[in-house]
Each structure stands twice: as C-alpha cells, then as structure tokens.
Amino acid sequence: VTVFEGLIVWSPFTLYNLRPFSKMSVFGPVVKIHPVVLASICDSYERRNEGASRVIGTLLGTIDKHSIEVTNCFSVPHNESEDEVAVDMEFAKNMYELHKRVSPTEVIIGWYATGFDITEHSVLIHEYYSREATNPIHLTADTALQSGKMNIRAYVSAQMGVPGKTVGVMFTPLSVKYIYYDTERIGVDLLQRTRMTPGRTKGLTSDLSQVAGSASRVQDMLTTVLAYIEDVLSGKVTADNSVGRFLMDLVNKVPTISAEDFENMLNSNINDLLMVTYLSNLTQAQIALNEKLVLL
C-alpha cells in the first residue's frame, strides 16, 4: 500500500494511511479553534474511565463560506474494543439540546477524538455525525504527546470508489488556526504565566495589573514599530509595502484628540474603574458580615 501524507482512505475491509506526496495541499474551509475547546478536550481526556485509550465528543460552532469556527464541545461516553465500538447517542442528543438553550447559534459541526491517527472505528462514528451535520469535520488531538507536542488536526470526509462496487471514505486534511475572543485572552495569558512558575500555579491578577500589563505590551509593540520605521528610513531594512499599508490603516483608525483631552478621558475611566472596585469590595464585606450575623 502506498503511504499518503494526510490522506486517510478507508474501505469496508481496512483503513489505509496513504501518503503519495511529501507535501500535500490542503483543501476546504479553514478550521478556527478557540482555547476553551482544547481545554475541554484535555479535561475530558484526564477524566476518562479507567482502561479507556481515548475519548470522543461533539464539536459545536458556526459555519460560513470560508471557515468553520469551533467555539464549544462536550464529551460523549463510548466503549470500543478491537471488534466493535458503542457510542451513547442518546446522551449526545440530550447534551446538544441543553447546549441549544444556552447558545442557540451554535450547531453541531463535527466531532473530536484524542489520538494521533484515524482508526476503523472513527469511520463508523463519523458516519453517525454525517446524519447530524452536513459534511462534518473530524478533529484529532494528540493528548499523549507522541511527537513532543499536542498536534491538532482536522479532516473532512468524502466517498470514493467505483459506482456499484466497493465504496470507501477518504479523509482530507484542513488548515487549522487558533483564535480567541478578547475575554479568552485573559485565560490564555494566565496559562502562559504558569509555565514560568515552579509550582505550575498562578493566581488571578487584579484589574489594575491587567491594565498595566496591556499598556506595557502596547508600549513594546510601539517600540518595535518605531525601530522598524527608523531602520527603513536609514536604509538598513528594505521597506515592505504590506507593512506600510497596515501601519497607514492603523494610524487612520486612531481618532484625532489632544493630549489634554486624552489625559482627562483616561483619568475619568480610571476613576470609574476604582469606584467599581471599591463598591465590589464593599459588597463582599457586607455579605461576609451578614453571614457572620446569621450564624450568631
């Protein structure tokens, strides 16, 4: 059997990992994954039943013409052996109904499985999700870190074979990108800071500390931009037209405001933030005092 990089071809008799090209082009839409999805997959893998080699689950999100955005997921109980696989489909349906009450815009876009490769059982599970969603994606997460990192891969399937004869399924890889909302950025930054601590733990920072950190990052980026511009003007670096257009667009988006008005606006926002912080602390103190009085 020839080996194909990223192409998985399955027939009713066996599943082949075919690789005819050293580098293979990626077709189809771009899969955009949010950090909460990866965290949920890792959590379900850590909480898996004793003896289970992998976990599977349903992917939820939105679809447009050029991309598939994965915003949520939940695990689905299943048992598999060398000969058969059993998935609790009723549990999956009930969980999806509950998710629709919270996020009605999220729909089933596919399913995930932990592991490095696609197995024969993956084809059977994918067939079920093909009835729940149009052209679903299959996401694999290497939680065992076989290559030293958690590889994330996405696939889309298509039937192949001779009409009226043996028909198989071909899994084609898709491009994967990682995106996040502004609110998710706080959690991602916190996880990054835990890598540098000996105990692998880190507490939440205050609002003012987050503002100071954001201001510091903006200052570092401005320093980098100014250094690049000075190098271009001095002839040390060749000018990049795409960077120039991006900087021009960025400058045009900045509102024209005097330094005095900007300082007044900043001080006003800081005062509002301090007032909210003071009121929240006062509320917490009052709640704690009421709890003490109730116990008397």
Tens of pLDDT, residue by residue over 39-51, are 899 889 888 888 7
Tell me the domain boundaries of the chain. 4-182, 205-254, 260-296
The whole-number pLDDT of residue 49 equals 82
Q: Is the pTM of this model over 0.75?
A: no
| C-alpha closest to that of 70 among 188, 185, 152 | 152
The whole-number pLDDT of residue 280 equals 92
Distances (CA, A) of 221 to 28, 187, 193, 224, 228: 34, 21, 19, 5, 11
In this model, does residue 167 exceed pLDDT 50? yes
- Convert 262-275 to b/e letters by CB count within 10 Å (16 or more is b): eeeeeeeeeeeeee
The whole-number pLDDT of residue 58 equals 92
The whole-number pLDDT of residue 59 equals 93
The whole-number pLDDT of residue 128 equals 84
The whole-number pLDDT of residue 200 equals 67
85 with 124: CB under 8 angstroms?
A: yes
The whole-number pLDDT of residue 283 equals 93
The whole-number pLDDT of residue 166 equals 66
In this model, does residue 141 exceed pLDDT 70? yes
Arithmetic mean of pLDDT over the chain: 80
- Bridge partners, residue 72, by sequence: 60
In this model, does residue 196 exceed pLDDT 80? no
Residues 176, 29: Cα–Cα separation, whole Å:
9
Place 70 in a pLDDT band, splitting at 50, 70 and 90: very high
Tens of pLDDT, residue by residue over 261-275, are 888 888 998 899 889
Task: Name the fold adopted by 4-182.
Answer: Cytidine Deaminase; domain 2 (3.40.140)
Tokens of 141: 């997460």
The whole-number pLDDT of residue 247 equals 86
The whole-number pLDDT of residue 282 equals 92
Place 6 in a pLDDT band, splitting at 50, 70 and 90: very low
Q: Which helix (H) or strand (E) holds 153?
A: strand 152-161
* Max Cα–Cα distance, the chain, nearest Å: 81
In this model, does residue 24 exceed pLDDT 60? no
The whole-number pLDDT of residue 61 equals 92
The whole-number pLDDT of residue 27 equals 56
Phi, psi of 108 (to 5 degrees): -70, 125
Please state the rounded mean pLDDT for residues 189-200: 73
6 with 20: CB under 8 angstroms?
A: no
